[in-house]
Amino acid sequence: MQTKDINEEIKWAQINKDVLRSMENPRKAYWVAVGMCLAMLACAVVAEIYQYRTGMGVADLNWPNMWGLYIATFIFWIGMSHSGTLLSAILHIIHADWRKPIYRFAEAMTTFSLMTAGLFPVIHLGRMWNMYWVLPYVSDRGIWPNFRSPLVWDAFAIFTYLTSSALFLFIGMIPDLAICRDNARGWRKKLYTVLSLGWAGTDRQWRHFRKTYLLMACFLIPLAVSVHSIVSSDFAMSIMPGWHVTTFPPYFVAGALYSGCAAIITLFIILRYFFRFEEYMTIPIMEKTCKLTFAIAMVWTYLNLIEFASTWYGHDLVAKEVLVDKFVGHWAPYFWAMLFFGSVLPFTLAFEKLRRHLPTMFVVSLFLNVGMWLERWMIVGPTLSMAYQPFAWNFEYPSMVQWAIVFGSFGWFGLLFLVFVKIFPSVSMYEVKEMVYHRRRAHVEDQAVAFHRRAGDGQPVTDTP
């Protein structure tokens, strides 16, 4: 049984070779995946064009269910975006080096799910051609957006987070891009030359790099927490029962981390399998991620219980009605499915045998995310369908247009990710080397010192020390 996070005997050239190999010569399976994603995206594009031309009515949204799947899926993708960058930053700061083989694709996932999430507020607008009105651009008529509106905060938060996490991803990739540059030909060479920003691995460059990276990590942690808190204000700042909940910010952050971790597990297994990254994305790292996910799942469950309890014992009869309806009413099937996937299913992560069994984890991680999608739907749906005015209570049955767009968003995300893994190294080469070095040094101090001396000479490492 594998117990070490990484093979300490691995050769540095082997690392480069393995990672660079994963970026070349796409196999048939890759093109099939690209085709599938394109087809999914096409569904969404067709649906969106139809909706754009005809009106939001084609989504079967209604009075008073005005938001539907669009906003639920928006929160889902925003949530998905949280684990990558946030975990990467936190683990970086606390020197948890097992993050190193997996943080790159996780950060990419962050960026792409943000790019997916950002589409939904636009898609759901009745007049999306005017969406730029939510931004505070200078208008000669002195018209500004309404700074009191959580939707405007959203726009700021998402743009800030997208910029920062993309920067974080990019900065962390610079040394690797230099490796790519040195090993590439043709257009790739040109691309990596530009992107690697003249990285030569000098001492000065490394110093600045380390400092910048650390600063970015420090900046990103509060930013990531605030982004999802702000998204939660879309609901928490409202007056509606079931939305007007004080615990929503931490609840949303926990949910976000949860779904993000689950997605990391899914992508971990996919990448490990297709790119034969068994040497890097090892079972012990998988186990660590699973344990983390389990811990977050329990936090999420706890926050759920708090919410139920405070609503149940609170004096707000209307909020209680919504809660009771979730328990036993129209929404009960989805609600209990959410609780099962979100709170019961993660207990599989508590068993070592299951944790180490990748097919099981693959399925489990997918269902965890189904549960988390349902959670978002359970936030948006029930409150809209029943609030203060009983005569206006109503249900919504989303149309194929809504489903197509939601479905297509996964294609869009997948496509971005597929393009990424073939252009950029999805495992951080230089950091895996650091990890291998540090691990090895812990056992073989002398060897490591020698290694370090040589590695610091600014030349690309092409040979074993």
Partner 1 sequence: MSGNQINRRDFLKIMGWSGAGVALAGCDRPTTVTLHEGKEEVVSYLMPEEYVIPGVGVYYATTCQQCPAGCGIHGRVREGRVLKAEGNPDSPVNYGKLCQMGQAGVQGHYNPDRMTKPHIRKGGNLVEASWDEAMALLKQKVGPDSGLAGDRFAWFTGQVSGHQAVLVNALMDSLGSERHYVHEVVNNAVTRAVNKDMLGVATPRYRIDEAKAILSFGADFLGAGQSPVHYATEYATFRTGDRGVLMVAEPKMSLTGANADLWMAVRPGTEGVLALGIANELVIRHKRKIDNLPAEVRDLITHYDLDTTAQITGVAGDRIVKATQWLHSRTPSLVLAGQSAENQAHGYQIAAATMLLNMVLGNVGRTIVPGTELPFPQLAAKQGGTADLRAFAKAVEQGAYDAVFFYNTNPAYTAPSYMKLAEKLQSKVGFKVVLTQFPDETAKQIADLVLPLHSPFEDWGTHVAASSYDEAVISMQQPLMEPLYPTTRGFGDIVLDVLKMRDSDNYGQYADYYAYLSQAFGALSADWQKTLQTGLLKVEGQAQRINAKAVKVSLPDYKQNAEFPYHLVPSARLGLWDGRHANIPWLQEAPDQISKVVWDSWAEMHPATADKLGVSTGDYITVTSDQGTIETQVYVFNGIHPDVVAVPMGQGHEEYGRYAKGRGVNPLKLISPKHDAKTGELALYGTRVKVAKAGRSEALVRMGGPGRNEAQLGRKLVATVTADVYRRTEGANDVA
Partner 2 sequence: MSLKNILENWSQYRRGHEQGGHHEYEHMWGMAIDLNKCIGCNACSVACYAENNLAIVGKHRYSKSQAMHWMRIERYWDEPELEKAGLVTKGKTIETGASFLPMLCQQCNAATCEPVCPVAATYHTPDGLNAQVYNRCIGSRYCSNNCPYRLRYFNFWSYYEDSWPEPLHMQLNPDLSVRDKGVMEKCTFCVQRIRVAKDEAKMADRKVIDGEFQTSCQQSCPTDAIVFGDMLDPQSRVTKLWKTHQVELGKSKQSKQNPDKRGYRVLEGLNTDPCIMYLERVREV
Q: Closer to partner 2 at the Cβ: 94 or 239?
A: 239
C-alpha 412, offset from chain centre: 14
Which residues have CB under 8 Å from 207's CB, separation 6+? none
Nearer to partner 2, 54 or 464 (CB): 54
Shorter beta-carbon distance to partner 2: residue 31 or 388? 388
Could you tell me the smallest distance in angstroms from the CB atom of residue 53 to partner 2?
A: 9
Q: At 447, list the tokens.
A: 């060897």
Name the one residue in this structure whose structure tokens are 């930013």.
223
Shortest reach from residue 398's CB to partner 2, in Å: 11
Cβ atoms of 376 and 75 closer than 8 Å: yes
Partner from partner 1, partner 2, none binding residue 317, C-beta < 5-8 Å depending on class = partner 1
| Residue with smaller CB distance to partner 1, 138 or 317 | 317
Of 375 and 396, the one with the shorter C-beta distance to partner 1 is 396
Would you count residue 57 as binding partner 1 (CB under 8 A)? no
Q: Which residues in 381-410 contact partner 1 (CB under 8 A)?
A: 385-386, 388-395
Q: What is the DSSP string of 413-430?
A: HHHHHHHHHHHS-SS-HH
Q: Out of 107, 321, 375, 431, point to the residue binding partner 1 (CB under 8 A).
A: 321
Question: How many CB atoms sit inside 10 A of residue 193's CB?
Answer: 17
Binding-site partner at residue 385 among partner 2, partner 1, none, CB < 5 to 8 Å by type = partner 1
Structure token pair of residue 385: 């369908």
What three-state secondary structure class fits 148? coil
Query: What, of partner 1, partner 2, none, does residue 347 touch, CB below 5 to 8 Å by kind?
Result: none
Query: Which residue has 């990672």 as its token pair?
Result: 19
What DSSP element (H or E) covers 173? Answer: helix 150-183
- CA pair distance 314, 330, nearest whole angstrom: 22
Q: Residue 52 or residue 393: which is nearer to partner 1 going by CB?
A: 393
Residues 260-289 that bind partner 1 (CB under 8 A): none
DSSP class of 456: T
Are the CB atoms for 344 and 304 separated by under 8 Å?
no
Contacts of 128 (CB under 8 A, 6+ apart): 52, 122
Toward partner 1, which CB reaches closer, 98 or 331? 331
3-state SS class at 330: coil
CB 40 → partner 1: shortest distance, Å? 31
Residue 131's binding partner out of partner 1, partner 2, none, with CB under 5 to 8 Å set by partner kind: partner 2
Q: If contact means CB under 5 to 8 A according to the sort of partner, which of partner 1, partner 2, none does residue 321 touch?
A: partner 1
Residue 330 or 356 with smaller CB distance to partner 1: 330
Q: Report the residue from 1, 94, 138, 317 that binds partner 1 according to the rule CB under 8 A.
A: 317
Minimum CB separation of residue 228 from partner 1 in Å reads 30
Using CB under 8 A as the binding criterion, the count of chain residues that bind partner 1 stands at: 16
Token pair belonging to 330: 């129209």
Lookup result for tokens 């944790």: 355
3-state secondary structure of 364: helix
Minimal distance in Å, beta carbon 288 to partner 2? 41
Instruction: Tell me how far apart the 2 most distant CA atoms of the chain are, in Å.
Output: 78
Residues of the shown chain interacting with partner 1 in the complex, contacts defined by CB under 8 A: 62-63, 317-318, 321, 330, 385-386, 388-395
